[in-house]
């Protein structure tokens, strides 16, 4: 025997589902120009016979057609494109960070092709040494030329020390950035773990 009010329950479940579907459609339309928004859709399934209906009904066919139920709201996404996006975004972040680091190193070393004052300091210092040695070769007994040679080598030593100090500073900054990033990741993972605990409890 078919339960008396099962028809009303079937209609009610259909109305509830379609109302939620209209809400989702309206939300999709409202966010049509929202950056990063992903279209949503309602997923549904047939209502499974409950204990009461099974007890009242004479057979399984009597409890068929009990309506529909909302099983969830999913996003219309392409899993392949999502994976590609995550991979490319990860690679992009890596290359951006590497580019910033190499820019800092380049700033410390200078342009290898620029031997002018304020350019590549090592190349400029070596050029000064080469010039002073050539001048000294033409006047080997000149104390002034000898002092210039000594001064040029001393200048190269100072340049190398400064570059070493600048590179140490770059390395220290990169280590600090890395430790900060690790701390941010750990904090995010902690929040995710707390959220999972809250959902499961």
Q: What is the pLDDT of residues 103-122, one digit of tens each?
A: 888 887 776 555 455 556 78
Position 122 scores a pLDDT of 80
Q: Measure the CA–CA gap between 95 and 103, rounded to whole angstroms.
A: 12
Cα 143 off chain centre by? 62
Query: Are both 92 and 190 inside the same structural domain?
Result: yes
Q: Would you say residue 62 lies in a domain?
A: yes
Q: Measure the CA–CA gap between 151 and 173, rounded to whole angstroms.
A: 33
Q: Which residues share a beta bridge with 73?
A: 42
Query: Are both 73 and 89 inside the same structural domain?
Result: no
Q: Would you say residue 38 lies in a domain?
A: yes
Residue ending a domain, choose from 22, 45, 77: 77
Query: Are both 113 and 186 inside the same structural domain?
Result: yes
Position 182 scores a pLDDT of 83
Q: Measure the CA–CA gap between 190 and 199, rounded to whole angstroms.
A: 14
Position 20 scores a pLDDT of 92
Q: Would you say residue 1 lies in a domain?
A: no
Domain housing 101: 82-200
Query: Are both 99 and 25 inside the same structural domain?
Result: no
Structure tokens, 179: 């430790």
Say which DSSP state 25 is in: H
Query: Are both 19 and 57 inside the same structural domain?
Result: yes
Query: Are both 87 and 158 inside the same structural domain?
Result: yes
Name the domain count of the chain.
2
Residue ending a domain, choose from 21, 54, 77: 77
User: Which has more pLDDT, 137 or 26?
Assistant: 26
Q: Measure the CA–CA gap between 89 and 77, rounded to whole angstroms.
A: 17
Q: Would you say residue 151 lies in a domain?
A: yes
Does pLDDT of 33 surpass 60?
yes
């Amino acid at each position: 025997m078919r339960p008396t009010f099962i028809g009303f329950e079937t209609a009610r479940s259909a109305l509830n589902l379609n109302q939620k579907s209209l809400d989702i459609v309206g939300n999709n339309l409202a966010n049509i120009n929202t950056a990063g928004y992903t279209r949503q859709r309602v997923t549904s399934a047939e209502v499974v016979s409950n204990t009461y209906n099974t007890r009242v009904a004479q057979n399984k066919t009597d409890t068929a057609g009990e309506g529909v139920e909302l099983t969830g709201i999913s996003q219309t996404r392409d899993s392949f494109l999502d994976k590609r996006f995550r991979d490319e975004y990860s690679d992009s972040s890596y290359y951006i960070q590497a580019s910033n680091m190499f820019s800092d190193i380049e700033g410390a070393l200078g342009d290898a092709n620029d031997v002018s004052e304020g350019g590549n300091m090592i190349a400029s210092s070596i050029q000064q040494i080469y010039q002073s040695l050539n001048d000294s070769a033409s006047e080997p007994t000149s104390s002034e030329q000898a002092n210039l040679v000594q001064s040029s080598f001393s200048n190269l030593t100072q340049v190398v020390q400064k570059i070493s100090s600048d590179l140490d500073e770059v390395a220290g900054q990169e280590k600090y950035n890395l430790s900060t990033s690790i701390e941010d990741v750990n904090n995010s993972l902690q929040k995710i773990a707390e959220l999972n605990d809250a959902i499961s409890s």
